[in-house]
């Protein structure tokens, strides 16, 4: 199975690039399954139902999120009825929406996708992400109820991301870090066969501060006095993510490589595609 994960869409330029280019990527690379993190798609803060539907319409199979999922209140309305929209599974009981699901890939494979959020430097009051991962995998084991399994681990601390990946190594196909918006160079397959990267990066304007127009963030570092709101940068977007080939026999990763397309960053695509 061939899977593409695209990192956080940031603002109009990020979501437009994803929505315009994704159909061609699916066709050119013969992708079986696509996951997109969409938590920053609406002006850099949250996501709307219209953006969600457009992303699904472009070919995404699932849209994951993170700590900004409710920044646009529209998400509270559509999350309970959209099966392909995920918020972190370790949010408190009763939170709208769902944190995981099993979806059918284009090749007929059953794919478990779980969205889990870290606690270090973020929200320590959340449920333990390791226990949340254990619950998800116990309910839908790889090789039994799922032919492949992916975890979007939305977290700040690299150590927490890496330890979670080692915790589930051999039990999921891919653990992909999101949240920091910066693509890392540590893509690898762990000893047990789980593909891993600390952060997939973002789909947005890299002439920015994490996808935001750089003037206001820079001003706050220099003066500590806000002059205005953070606004999403609107220059040309670069798509960032990872491509993974997953064994149809074991559900574990066979290959992983970064995917980057657009200005500023060096372009790359999985050579095995």
Residue 148 and residue 175 in contact, taking contact as beta carbons nearer than 8 Å: no
Residue 18 and residue 45 in contact, taking contact as beta carbons nearer than 8 Å: no
Alpha-carbon distances of 230 from 67, 155, 174, 212, 244, rounded to whole Å: 17, 21, 32, 6, 34
Partnered with residue 101 across adjacent β-strands are 113
Q: Helices 49-57 and 11-29: crossing angle, nearest 10°?
A: 20
> b/e per residue, 69-84, with b = 16+ CB within 10 A?
bbbbebbeebbeebeb
Residue 242 and residue 176 in contact, taking contact as beta carbons nearer than 8 Å: yes
Structure tokens at 262: 């657009």
Pairing state of beta strands 110-117 and 148-154? parallel
From the candidates 68, 154, 179, 181, give the one annotated as an active-site residue: 68
- Alpha carbon distance 219, 230 (integer Å): 11
- Alpha carbon distance 117, 169 (integer Å): 18
Tell me if residue 19 falls in helix, strand or coil.
helix
Told to judge if 68 belongs to the known catalytic residues of this protein, a careful annotator would answer: yes
Question: What size, in residues, is the chain?
Answer: 273
Partnered with residue 264 across adjacent β-strands are none
Catalytic residue numbers read 68
């Amino acid at each position: 199975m061939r899977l593409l994960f695209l990192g956080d869409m940031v603002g109009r330029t990020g979501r437009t690039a994803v929505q315009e280019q994704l159909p061609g990527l699916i066709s050119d690379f013969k992708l079986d399954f696509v996951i997109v993190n969409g938590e920053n798609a609406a002006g850099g803060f949250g996501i709307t139902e219209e953006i969600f539907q457009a992303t699904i319409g472009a070919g995404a199979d699932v849209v994951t999120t993170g700590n900004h999922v409710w920044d646009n209140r529209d998400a509270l309305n559509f999350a309970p009825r959209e099966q392909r929209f995920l918020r972190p599974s370790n949010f408190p009981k009763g939170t709208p929406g769902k944190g995981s699901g099993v979806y059918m890939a284009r090749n007929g494979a059953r794919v478990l996708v779980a969205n889990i959020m870290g606690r270090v430097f973020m929200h320590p009051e959340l449920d333990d992400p390791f226990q949340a991962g254990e619950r998800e995998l116990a309910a839908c084991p790889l090789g039994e109820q799922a032919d492949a399994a992916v975890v979007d681990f939305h977290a700040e601390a690299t150590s927490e991301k890496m330890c979670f990946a080692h915790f589930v190594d051999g039990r999921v196909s891919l653990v992909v870090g999101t949240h920091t918006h910066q693509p890392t160079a540590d893509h690898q397959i762990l000893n047990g066969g789980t593909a891993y990267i600390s952060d997939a990066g973002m789909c947005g304007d890299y002439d920015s501060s994490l996808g935001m127009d750089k003037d206001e963030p820079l001003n706050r570092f220099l003066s500590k006095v806000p002059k205005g709101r953070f606004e999403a940068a609107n220059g040309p977007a670069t798509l960032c993510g990872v491509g993974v080939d997953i064994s149809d026999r074991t559900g574990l990763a066979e290959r992983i490589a970064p995917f980057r397309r657009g200005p500023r960053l060096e372009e790359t695509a999985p050579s095995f595609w």
